[in-house]
Amino acid sequence: SPQLKLAQGKLSILLQACEKEIEEELGVKHTVAHGFKLGRSILTNADVHRRQRYVLNFDLSDFFGTINFGRVRGFLINNRNFQLHPDVATLIAQITCHKDMLPQGSPTSPVISNLIGNILDVRLSKVARANGCAYTRYADDITISTSQTEFPKAIANQVDSTSGWTLAKDVEQAVAACGFRINHAKTRLLHHRSRQDVTGIVVNRHVNVNTDYRRAVRAMVNNLCSTGTYHRKKSIVAAEDTTTVSVEGSRPQLEGMLGFLLQVERYRRSDELPPPTLSSTELLLHRFLFFTTFASNDRPTILFEGKTDNIYISA
């Protein structure tokens, strides 16, 4: 209901302020959690793991679903930074949970998940530091990287050259002790001689977008400007299978893809002077905007040079 959304929105702002105050009191300058936080993104998350010899990625299964009503209420009562009255904690848990879990899309779910996920971050970052590794978490995506000649067996190991990597017992126990589950199917270790990506961002040398994605976006723009339409790939998840189909894409979707490419590019060169000419990404966006703004309109678009030009044209 609108009233519930309003309450959740205001509660989210309050909890984010509490989270910031806690971090300031603890002297935390650089948090290891990069999801749902102001000034943090998939780019800042990936940037931590640039130019590393090994990058380990693994996921938490059903991240929001494992944070249920009892966990939210218990956290607010028992955590030393909150220690709320049980009645207040119960009310907050009732506002933030739906069907005994944090719902996707709720304004309060991100900040609640970070507050509770911080317990896991403390444990895993401690294990990572003890083994000379860097650690970050973006929502349910966890990354541990190192520049050592061998990846620490205290974190993950491989039985033989043909098998996949498995997380060490201490890591699995730390995750389980914090009330989360590991999605073992998505555990992978990436060597610097292969393409290393973190939350979809390539990190071998610079923070970047993989070449296939860039080429796909360029092809979509070319098709749109040539034919007026374009198609994109869409994954359809069934009961036990995921299929990919081609569907017609919208202009706002393509504009979002171009905006993402530009965001990554500008993040990568944030410390550099602006180039004298437009980059290939900026030229591609320029072509898209010219086509959608002027070339494909149902009616002519008129640009005025002076403030009074519209008066003369109207007359």
Question: How would you write the pLDDT of the chain (315 residues) with one tens digit per residue?
Answer: 889 999 999 999 999 999 999 999 988 888 899 999 988 999 999 999 999 999 999 999 999 999 999 999 999 999 999 999 999 999 999 999 999 999 999 999 999 999 999 999 999 999 999 999 999 999 999 999 999 999 999 999 987 777 789 999 999 999 999 999 999 999 999 999 999 999 999 999 999 999 999 999 999 999 999 999 999 998 887 766 778 899 999 999 999 999 999 999 999 887 777 788 899 999 999 999 999 998 888 777 777 777 777 776 776
Judge whether 226 lies within some domain.
yes
Ordered alpha helix ranges (H), 61-159: 69-78, 86-96, 109-130
Range of the domain at 227: 211-295
Total count of domains within the chain: 2
What is the reported pLDDT for 256? 97
What integer pLDDT is reported at residue 315 of this predicted model?
Answer: 61
The answer on 220 and 137 residing in a single domain is no
309, part of any domain: no
- Residue 269's pLDDT is what? 85
Give me the residues paired with residue 136 across strands.
143
The CA distances from residue 102 to 94, 98, 240, 266, in Å, are: 10, 6, 24, 34
**Sequence-ordered strand ranges (E) for 213-301:** 231-237, 242-248
pLDDT of residue 123: 95
| Contact present, 111 and 91 (Cβ < 8 Å) | no
Residue 57 pLDDT: 97
Q: What is the amino acid identity at position 259?
A: G
Among 202, 225, 242, where does a domain finish? 202
Asked if residue 311 is part of any domain, the answer here is no
The first and second tokens of residue 128, run together, are 């990572």
Residue 187 and residue 42 share a domain:
yes
First to last CA, the chain: 50
Pair (70, 39) in one structural domain: yes
Q: Do 44 and 177 sit in the same domain of this protein?
A: yes
Tell me, what's the pLDDT at 168?
96
Residue 224 and residue 187 share a domain: no
